[in-house]
Structure 1
Amino acid sequence: MSTLVIAEHDNAHLKGSTLNTVTAAAQCGGDVHILVAGQNAGAVAEAAAKIVGVARVLVADGAQFADGLAENVAEQAIALAGNYSHILAPATAYGKNILPRVAARLDVAQISEITKVVSPDTFERPIYAGNAIATVQSADPVKVITVRTTGFDAAAQGGLAQGGSAQVENITPVGDAGKSSFVSREVAKSDRPELTAAKIIVSGGRGMGSGEAFKVLEPLADKLGAAMGASRAAVDAGFVPNDWQVGQTGKVVAPQLYIAVGISGAIQHLAGMKDSKTIVAINKDPEAPIFQVADYGLVGDLFSEVPAFVSEL
């Protein structure tokens, strides 16, 4: 019994979500192998080989994988599926685009966004916006699983001394599926940490009042080296870009410190950040639901409290 992890990468860097997925894969039992499907992604393969607990890295190199088209990566995973009892990918936009195709082609039920491995065939996953946890058991010959990365610690990376010395093997890549083509990509540039990988996040909500008001949060984020986030209400109001959204329909995060400013704490937002190690809430409404999950709460006007907070740092 072996487990295959589909690596998320950009042909130059291995995404941190892969490390969390490897931890889940190791708990499924058996050897853990990583599939790196890309073009000239040697640096990614080297990084994958250094992950502690990984036995083998399979490299499928070809132009058809250069842009991470889900149809092509899925075909490569399907070609390898007969050798594995589990196929895992992170529950990111990347993994969610690939694994449903794999599950459909293998005629098995996908198990989505697991947060715990109970046994090789039994898993826990949140339902109803995280208000309940479902225990799911699968009798399928191949378990196709997306992993909520906030539910698992990142696997360690190191050299031979740290236990990371996986064998790297080049495999025959599948051909282009011919079902889609890459047109263009618009990448948001930011000097701040990536939201899903940040250790500290400062988020604003509808209470900010406007996009201009989000500038009040920038000095706080700058001092803490934090990523910037937002609630769906703030995104829907056009205050900030969509890729800032934290919540059930946005990004799920679990930083060391989450500072929620002007966020009431709707259940959909809490589903995306309640696993944060420490939660600080600033809101003028003492009855705001966010205070029920906050470790530290400050009731007051954010436009005076946030600058005062910054001055004390």
Structure 2
Amino acid sequence: MSDVYLQLDKLTLAYGDTVAVKDLDLSIAKGELVALLGPSGCGKTTTMRSIAGLLAPASGRINLDGADITRVSANKRAVGLVFQSYALFPHLTVYENVAFGLRLKGINGQTLDSRVNAGIKSVGLSSFASRKPAELSGGQQQRVALARSMVMEPKVLLLDEPLSNLDARLRLEMRAELQRVQKETGVTMIFVTHDQAEALALADRIVVMLNGGIEQIGTPEEIYNKPVSAFVADFVGFENVFKLQNGRLVTPNGAIELSLPAPQAAGLAWRPSSVALGSGPFQGAVRGTSFAGNTREYLLDTPLGRVKAEVDASLPPHEIGASLSFDLPLAAAATLTRFG
């Protein structure tokens, strides 16, 4: 990356004797919006805590804007942090919550008033400045927490599962709000999430983590369309994942030939929507079916193991136990370079 702003260099993080992150290398450009994506325990929150200065590395370095901040205390890092729980002061108004950090820095008077009002306005809450957190919705409280961090003018803003406490409708609204604020201010933003849809919708780049390491880094399109490992494929919706051995699919019933020669790869993966149902060389029995609005999903028992298929809901439904032909088109498969 040509314009490295935040650099994690061989970062190892541990809790006592338990290593949570091992030799992690990550470069982030100024103004990027990056998602750390992965299941619980993969190391994403631990990595975020180390960037914030809340966890000292066992080894490695953290560089921000050309300076080594590895041993710099959290309050001197110019790194903002928005907690999952918002951490607002219930007895203070929106204005005073946003002003709190600035007051601690000795800022007051017209400068304080100007920065606080600008911060509240940037998240669309100017008419709520005199309200207290209990008088706000969850989405509004999240925006107050965002404004409180933004007025401190951080070089990097960290968000820990920022939308997990919101209902589905509010999550969509806050996605748009976060994108707007980030693009208008140009702040470098890193958010931690286990929600694939959230990462795909928000991030410029996604860092998929597993077992304290990085599985794949890429744009949302790259992660979604071209997963490199079986884990990433499964995590982003390729629910039919197979290991390849000598050009054959490895299944519970042994190696099975495809209708066309397989590519040189560690594995292949298909989304349910890519399974061609109704014709093909394979046979399966319908074990389960579910209506999902515009689509209908089928779970098939097959010689390959369980296969999940998805078709247009306007098509005539198949009953439980029905025998169906299907194919796994190679043109629709993701080619995996790693399987384990």
Q: Do the structures match in fold with TM over 0.5?
A: no
Q: TM-score with structure 2 length normalisation?
A: 0.28
Greater C-alpha Rg: 2
Q: TM-score with structure 1 length normalisation?
A: 0.30
Question: Which structure has the highest helix share of the two?
Answer: 1
Question: Which structure has the highest strand share of the two?
Answer: 2
